Amino acid sequence: MRQTMSTSQKDKVVIFDTTLRDGEQSPGATMSHSEKLEIAGLLDDMGVDIIEAGFPIASEGDFRAVSEIAKNARNSVICGLARANFGDIDRCWEAVKHAKQPRIHTFIGTSPLHRAIPNLTMDEMAERIHDTVSHARNLCDNVQWSPMDATRTEEDYLCRTVEIAIKAGATTINIPDTVGYTAPVESAELIRMLINKVPGADEIVFATHCHNDLGMATANSLAAVEGGARQIECTINGLGERAGNTALEEVVMALKVRGDIMPFSTGIDTTKLMNISRRVAAVSGFAVQYNKAIVGKNAFAHESGIHQDGMLKNAETFEIMRPEDVGLTETNIVMGKHSGRAALRSKLENLGFELGDNQLKDVFVRFKELADRKKEVFDDDLVALMRTTSDPESDRLSVKSLRVVCGTDGPQEAALTLSVDGEDRSTTATGDGPVDATFNAVKELFEHDARLQLYQVHAVTEGTDAQATVSVRLEEDGKIVTGQSADTDTVVASAKAYVSALNRLLVRREQTEVGYDIKGVGYKDVS
């Protein structure tokens, strides 16, 4: 039976989160298996309607992650992505079929540029769409179809392919702005046109998937809803390749705050937004910019004298939403070296981090080490502590000790002991500064050909005892990984971030790809 929208459903916007699939395609944003499961659990708990858990045929690791997420999901529909061929679709179904509510999402590029890739005529592509969507529907009664690069597809042909997909059994039609080309007025009109022109359009749900290349992803998504779309595809923090995707927190809060002109609702518990934003930033290695809407550090900060005066008299003068609406709360607990586990757990929960006993044990040890070096541990220090990328159970490399010699006279020198697969190795290396010397020492102890793409240092708080958060991005044979670490010693943080990135690179080396480009540009035979 087709999905038909009731009156109540027409007022609800379905949130389709693709952080674990599209968001992970950001260079360097690859998540580990356990991190994917954790993020999926947070999305499910927050009320996300549909989680696109991955691209099952991309690798054995991706398949296992999607399959396990499907088995563990409590409320969310679990969706997998598949190109327009039977092999992709079968693999996708094998991964999601264990979910209480599975969905297959299959796609093909319909614009002239994308039709040229598989060298298909319009008729040949139309036949493939019919065959593959029919195949998916025979496996699963919840099928989503996307004409990739829809916003640059000829109107008549787009209508034709959408009609074919609906007749073949698609229950959701997603209209992607794959390259972030469209504008809000066009986004609304495109959805409106399809609903009015395509037979059967009133029986299915239309979705929108916008990229942010021109900075209009959120506006385009909301405009599509005005045009009749009732599903928004988005990611936490707007994570995604190039300039990113529509940010989940932005569309959800826009609909909540501006319900006067957009009378739609979502099922998202917005008080959980800050927590999942921080966690995605940590596991992806992509820090949230300070002035990011909704979840940025400065989103609720007021420095201007006029703003501060107005806030003291009435918060509504310069705030259109409350910090607690997105899960940002303040407590009076001061953390220091005498603070116990209960106080740390309470503080972290107020910051949005819920830890199991084993996780708390590990974090408490690192907190004590930090508190011994800092008189007072601030909220941002704890967030930085939680963002450090490390998995003791799978990390093959770890920093055991580091001593550096630096100054104006040189040479800068680093004496490093590194644990490699449980074996301690030591060396002394020189370089153009203490960080360069440290990185050279790592290379001596663990040879590799990875190229340093990015090295960033940020002070977490003010003061000379402030922690430094260091991000390191490495590239090897097209594989891009990011590592992060924080420490009151910038060089130590640098060494740990570099080693963290190497650990992630080793994981990527072990993943066996199945011979195509995960970005979706490769089209293999349909059978």
How many other CB atoms are there within 10 angstroms of residue 299's CB atom? 19
In this predicted structure, the answer to whether residue 348 has a pLDDT above a threshold of 90 is: no
Euclidean distance between CA atoms 198 and 437, whole angstroms: 64
Specify the higher pLDDT residue, 507 or 43: 43
CATH architecture designation of domain 7-284 = Alpha-Beta Barrel (3.20)
Q: Is 458 annotated as a binding residue?
A: no
Contact criterion met (CB below 8 Å) for 133 and 143: yes
| Neighbouring-strand partners of residue 413 | 405, 430
Torsion, CA 37, CA 39, CA 40, CA 46, rounded to 10: 150
46 contacts 15 by C-beta, under 8 angstroms: no
Instruction: Identify the weakest region by mean pLDDT among 1-10, 267-276, 466-475.
Output: 1-10
Rounded to an integer, the average pLDDT of 294-311 is: 58
26, pLDDT greater than 90: no
The larger pLDDT score, comparing residue 463 to residue 8, is at 463
Lowest mean pLDDT among 173-187, 295-309, 330-344: 295-309
Q: 397-510: what CATH class?
A: alpha beta
Distance, CA of 260 to CA of 257 (rounded, Å): 8
Interval 429-455: pLDDT, tens: 999 999 999 999 999 999 999 999 989
Residue 389 confidence (pLDDT): 57
391 is in an annotated binding site: no
Tens of pLDDT, residue by residue over 58-112, are 988 899 999 999 999 999 999 999 999 999 999 999 999 999 999 999 999 999 9
Check pLDDT > 60 for residue 392: no
Cα(277)–Cα(274) distance, integer angstroms: 5
Domain with CATH 3.30.160.270 in the chain: 397-510
pTM score: 0.81
- Give Dmax (Cα) for the chain: 78
Phi, psi at 239, each rounded to 5°: -60, 140
22 appears as a binding residue in the annotation: yes
In sequence order, the 6+-apart residues with CB closer than 8 A to the CB of 519 are: 25, 241
CATH 3.20.20.70 in the chain, residue ranges: 7-284
- Is 130 annotated to bind ligand? no
Nearest-angstrom CA–CA distance, 146 and 129: 10
Give per-residue pLDDT as tens, 248-274: 999 999 999 999 999 999 999 999 999
Instruction: Give helix 86-96 / helix 122-139 axis angle, nearest 10°.
Output: 20
Could you give the CA distance from residue 316 to residue 403 in angstroms, rounded to a whole number?
Answer: 52
Q: How confident is the model at residue 316 (pLDDT cuts 50, 70, 90)?
A: low
pLDDT of residue 165: 98
Given a cut of 60, is residue 522 above it in pLDDT? Answer: no
303 residue type, one letter: E
| pLDDT of res. 514 | 40
